[in-house]
Amino acid sequence: MFKTFSIFLASFISGIIFPYRRKDVFERSPVKWRVLGIPIFSLLGIIVTGWTLLMSYSYLVDSDLGSNSPVSLASVALILAAGIVVYLCSYAYSKSKGMDLSLAFRELPPE
């Protein structure tokens, strides 16, 4: 279960940062609502990040759930590390072929 939370957590944190990091894309979106000048996207990201951290903490400290065993924690670390290694290898391979993967994330694809 903790593996799922860690993946969601990365998405939620990205959601908090997105309106500020990619302001041009956010401003063109149909859902650029704000509450007290703060993008609703970021506010929702903060709420779900807090909830996810709370749930992750409960899974880590409650041994009855079985998610804080050494095998479970090692598998989470291995999955996260494998994702980073695959991305870095893919990035290096594409860069050697003359393609810049970072350009794929510069703009949303047309609908």
Asked if 47 contacts 55 with a C-beta cutoff of 8 angstroms, the reply is: no
pLDDT of residue 111: 61
- Which residues, at least 6 apart from 13, have a Cβ–Cβ distance to it below 8 Å? 45, 49
Per the prediction, the chain carries an average pLDDT of 85
Long-range CB contact pairs, 103-110, < 8 A, 24+: 107/25, 108/25, 108/28
pLDDT of residue 31: 83
Give the model's confidence band at 2: pLDDT under 50 very low, under 70 low, under 90 confident, else very high.
low
Residue 84 has pLDDT above 90, yes or no: yes
pLDDT in tens, 26-73: 888 888 899 999 999 899 999 999 998 888 888 778 877 777 778 877
